[in-house]
Amino acid sequence: MVAQKINASDAMLKVMADWGIDHIFGLPGGSFDSTMNALHNQKAIMRYIQVRHEEVGALAAAGEAKATGKIAATFGSAGPGAVHLLNGLYDAKYDHVPVLALVGQVATGVMNTDYFQEMNENPMFADVAVYNRTVMTAEQMPLVVDQAIQQAYKHHGVAVVTIPTNLGWQPIEDNFEATANLFQIGNYPEPRNADIERALQLIKEAKQPIIYFGQGASAAGEELVALSEQLKIPMMSSALAKGIVADDYPAYMLSAGRVATKPGVDLATAADLILFVGSNYEFGQYFFNPDAKFIQIDIDPTKLGHRHHVDVGILADAKTALKTLLTASQPVANQSTFYKAAIANKANWDVWTASFEEDDQSPLRVEPVFKQINDMASADAIFNLDVGNVSIDGVRFLKMRPGQKMTLSAWYATMGCAVPAAIGTQATYPDRQVWSISGDGGFSMVMQDIITQVKYQMPIINVVLSNDSFGFIEAEQDDKGQPRSGVAIQGADYGAAATAMGARGFTVRTLAELKTAFAAAMGTKEPVVIDVKIANERPLPVEQLVIDEQTQDPEKVAAFVEKYHAQGLKPFRAFLEN
């Protein structure tokens, strides 16, 4: 029987659909016309979402992949469209999520002739991609895309397929079978008994052990809590791992570093043993006790010892390794002084942060804003945080629980990621409540794509924290003693701008206006932008606290406490000695 014919671009989209991709973000261009034609033909299986900048499309795909763990897709046409994709693709690369990027190219007959918008695109994507190919024949298109998706999943990264536009128009036999149903990641090794026994012995000998977990423990929230309770060990995590364990779990201290909490930093510096689970935290050398024993659990053997010395390396899936540790260990009856101090320290932090939730200063503090977000957030809400001070505030003040999700450009740290990520997560979770939370710097980079939210009737709640400054960089310049340079930004009424784009916009300057705006946004079926004018005040620098009069200069302590309203905070030493 002779197979029916189908255009190569149509065959390619069918392969993508077989892998579970049902939408794609991008902007059309002449070099991408054959695929645009296929998107029209195959609209029953592939939804095209038009963005207003290719960077937004790539960031939307990256955000979607972070939230789902599944591959997401974006495209750009030859030349400028392809170049615009790079920022979002690097975000996907750095946070190790699978993204497929289709890139337009001029027709094969005019390649290598300096044709309009022609460029050698493969070298441009060589660093960002785990798979980077140009299709050479029409018959290759479904095969190359099938291989690209395999590699993106296998290596947790970006796959780029460049398509000369004439090839997509050519008819090929409609008989290609995608490998989606056959594909599987290899089985992870079981932890070795000797490693488990040695790890438990080190934990038993430790006086101040902690558990530190990252995204690699995303499926092991229950096991983390169970091990913490069984062995009486407090926990902390990377910023990206926020949400795996409920924020209100008393023994979970959130994160360390600058995008962090005081309890997290205190724990990291005090620990004499760290059970390091599914993380590649790059700043550990600055915040972990350098003399601490290290037990590392990871599925990738190249990660063992990559960031720190390791006393015991356990090559295994986080969930499996934690279950094995649970089975092989006995419950600890009594809480150690360190464990009780950690819990008391967190309780003190929670009381201190809550004391500002009804603060009515104008411009506003950020705590009342996050109080409104937490009160309004649904049980399955998805929060998309931008980069800057808003990252610090979100990690500290969002009260997340299992069932909710959060995305963040944690490692690549590109500003302008929140609005696109919200578009990506809303596209794949149309029935869930989705938030973008940005500073005015990040929001103004991508605010044109509020129009995208309007076009597709995405009921995203976009919160903008406007302080007229690149505050994160301002603080870095202050710490270096240099004059503030280039960090002040021109303010704007983003609520009014959102209204002009067809969204529902609010501009907030007081606590009463804040509550009114959030009440109006509740249950809306259209995109909302709430522009909150906040004070340009540095978040409490938990990585350089000066609050202990017994060990630090009392005059400096008094000045620090006054500046950051830290009268209610106690040093960790006080809890250890209590």
**pLDDT tens for each residue of the chain, 578 residues long:** 567 999 999 999 999 999 999 999 999 999 999 999 999 999 999 999 999 999 999 999 999 999 999 999 999 999 999 999 999 999 999 999 999 999 999 888 888 888 888 788 999 999 999 999 999 999 999 999 999 999 999 999 999 999 999 999 999 999 999 999 999 876 788 999 999 999 999 999 999 999 999 988 999 999 999 999 999 999 999 998 999 999 999 999 999 888 899 999 999 999 999 999 988 766 566 678 889 999 999 887 887 777 778 999 999 999 999 999 999 999 999 999 999 999 999 999 999 999 999 999 999 999 999 999 999 999 999 999 999 999 999 999 999 988 999 999 989 999 999 999 999 999 999 999 999 999 999 999 999 999 999 999 999 999 999 999 999 999 999 999 999 999 999 999 999 999 999 999 999 999 999 999 999 999 889 999 999 999 999 999 999 999 999 999 999 999 999 999 999 999 999 999 97
Same domain, 208 and 332: yes
Choose the final residue of a domain: 346, 374, 409: 346
Which CATH number do you get for residue 412? Answer: 3.40.50.970
> Would you say residue 540 lies in a domain?
no
> Would you say residue 538 lies in a domain?
no
Same domain, 13 and 125: yes
Same domain, 148 and 281: no
Same domain, 405 and 520: yes
User: Any idea which residues carry the catalytic annotation?
Assistant: 54, 116-117, 258, 387, 472-473, 476
C-alpha to C-alpha distance for 362 and 511, rounded to whole angstroms: 8
* pTM exceeds 0.85 for this model: yes
* Res 279: pLDDT: 83
C-alpha to C-alpha distance for 281 and 36, rounded to whole angstroms: 41
Same domain, 463 and 413: yes
* Res 2: pLDDT: 64
Distance of CA 392 to the CA centre of its chain: 13
* Res 284: pLDDT: 62
> Would you say residue 359 lies in a domain?
no
Give the angle subtended at the CA of 544 by the CAs of 538 and 550, to the nearest 5°: 125
Number of structural domains (the chain) is: 4
**CA torsion sign, 243 to 246 to 248 to 249?**
negative
Same domain, 242 and 302: yes
DSSP letter (8 states) at residue 120: -
Same domain, 404 and 373: yes
Which CATH number do you get for residue 326? Answer: 3.40.50.1220
* Res 545: pLDDT: 95
* Res 177: pLDDT: 93
> Would you say residue 327 lies in a domain?
yes
Look up the domain containing 86 and give its range.
Answer: 5-173
* Res 489: pLDDT: 97
Same domain, 16 and 148: yes
Same domain, 140 and 269: no
Same domain, 26 and 161: yes
* Res 286: pLDDT: 60
Same domain, 47 and 82: yes
Same domain, 28 and 84: yes
* Res 113: pLDDT: 85
What separation in angstroms does the CA of 383 have from each of 240, 273, 407, 488? 12, 32, 6, 27
